[in-house]
Amino acid sequence: MVGIIDIINVGLFAAALRMATPIAYASLGGIFSERVGVMNIGLEGMMLLSAFTGVAVTYYTANPWLGVLGAVLVGGLMGFFHALLTVKFSGDQVVSGAGINLFAMGFTAYMSQVLWGSRGASESVSGLKPISIPILKDLPVIGPILGTHTPLVYIMLLTVVLSYILLFRTPLGLRIRAVGEHPTAADTAGIDVHRVKYICVTLSGMFAGLGGAFMSLGHLSLFTYGMTGGRGFIAMAAMIFGKWMPVGAFGASLLFGFSDALQMRLQSLGLLPPQIILTIPYVLTVAVLSGVVGRAKAPSDYKPYEKG
């Protein structure tokens, strides 16, 4: 994992923000999906497919931004597919999501073999270049942490704020919240429940797509097999920990990102066997889900809505 360990002292926090980025994207995706009553355990697979797509598109076009676009489109497509199965055909949300995850594992490995002759990893591509924010980067402490990142980190911060505004300050947000909590009420108020669900679950996939693109283009500049490493599931934990609120989920993502960053530093110290250290983020996830949160109440009941 070359290039992960930064040279700066406050690098740990910069790394935490970086590691939190894909989790935050995916947890925002989770929020939009669950807020309309569709559980999305396919976030992991959507991220993986998007990570792959990002690298593949960049490989052929040499433009990482086209890669990001491709990743978002594929994420959105998978989201739409998930919505189609669960909203239109009232399919089981867990089965559909798990199916997407399995498909993503197999498909990316196969395509990786076809394109680059290796199931394990792609060739390197030119990823997104970090940018520095003037003035901000020169501030003490904050500068090294926030000043220089790939644009997708900043876009993530913006997305958190925009998601909050969308959910709580716009008519669509009001409808989204109504649809998830009481679809019949929304329907009788003249809202097209299924349309809102389609929009949100597709959006959910697009967010996961951004998370995937960040992992392969903003972080590593190549695709490796199973590179999302369960971050889609950790994102679901972050979503629950954050009580289905964008800012809360972002905070929880930072916590998980921090534990991830810490884990890497601890490995380099060699104090504990790396296998144990590697488990830290996952143990934290289990701990958070099993009690620290208390009884988190989902904003919806995850049932397909059928009229009459």
Partner 1 sequence: MVSAVVMRGVTKTFPGVVANDHVDFSAETGEIHGLLGENGAGKTVLMSILYGLYRFDEGAIIIDGEEVEVDSPSTAMRLGIGMVHQHFMLVPSLTVAENIILGREPIKNGVFLDTERMLRDVGEFCDKYRLDVDLEAPVHTLSVGVQQRVEILKALYRGADVLILDEPTAVLTPQEVDELFKAIRALREEGKTVIFISHKLREVLAICDRVTVLKKGRVVGTVDASETDQGRLAEMMVGREVVYTFDKDYCEAGEPVLVVEGLEALDDRNLQALRGVELEVCASEILGIAGVEGNGQTELIETLMGLRKPTAGKILLNDSEITTLPPGERIRAGISHVPEDRHKRGIVSDFSVMENLILGSHRNTEFTQWGQVLDLAKASSYSDKLIEDYSIDTPSKKTLARNLSGGNQQRLVVAREFSREPKLIIAAQPTRGLDVGATEYVRRKLLEMRDQGCAVLLLSADLDEIWAISDRIAVIYEGRIVATRDPKETSEQELGLLMAGGRDD
Residues that bind partner 1 in the complex, under the rule CB under 8 A: 165, 169-171, 173-175, 177-178, 181-182, 184-191, 299, 307-308
**Contact between residue 50 and residue 77 where contact means Cβ atoms under 8 Å apart:** no
Q: Is 287 or 303 the residue whose CB approaches partner 1 more closely?
A: 303
Shortest Å, Cβ 247 to partner 1: 17
Helix 231-241 with 11-35: angle, nearest 10 deg: 80
CA distance 189 to 284: 42
The pair phi, psi for residue 148, each rounded to 5°, is: -130, 115
Shortest Å, Cβ 173 to partner 1: 7
CA distance 83 to 180: 14
Nearest residue to 246 (alpha-carbon basis) of 304, 151, 176: 176
Shortest Å, Cβ 46 to partner 1: 27
**What SS3 class is residue 239?**
helix
Shortest Å, Cβ 178 to partner 1: 5
Q: Is 134 or 171 the residue whose CB approaches partner 1 more closely?
A: 171
**Contact between residue 44 and residue 233 where contact means Cβ atoms under 8 Å apart:** yes
Q: Is 226 or 299 the residue whose CB approaches partner 1 more closely?
A: 299
Shortest Å, Cβ 75 to partner 1: 24
CA distance 308 to 301: 18
Q: Is 143 or 242 the residue whose CB approaches partner 1 more closely?
A: 242
| Greatest extent of the chain over all pairs of C-alpha atoms, in Å | 62
Shortest Å, Cβ 27 to partner 1: 20
**What SS3 class is residue 149?**
strand
- Residue 243 has what DSSP assignment? T
Q: Is 138 or 192 the residue whose CB approaches partner 1 more closely?
A: 192
Give me 173's structure tokens: 């947000």
Q: Is 175 or 219 the residue whose CB approaches partner 1 more closely?
A: 175
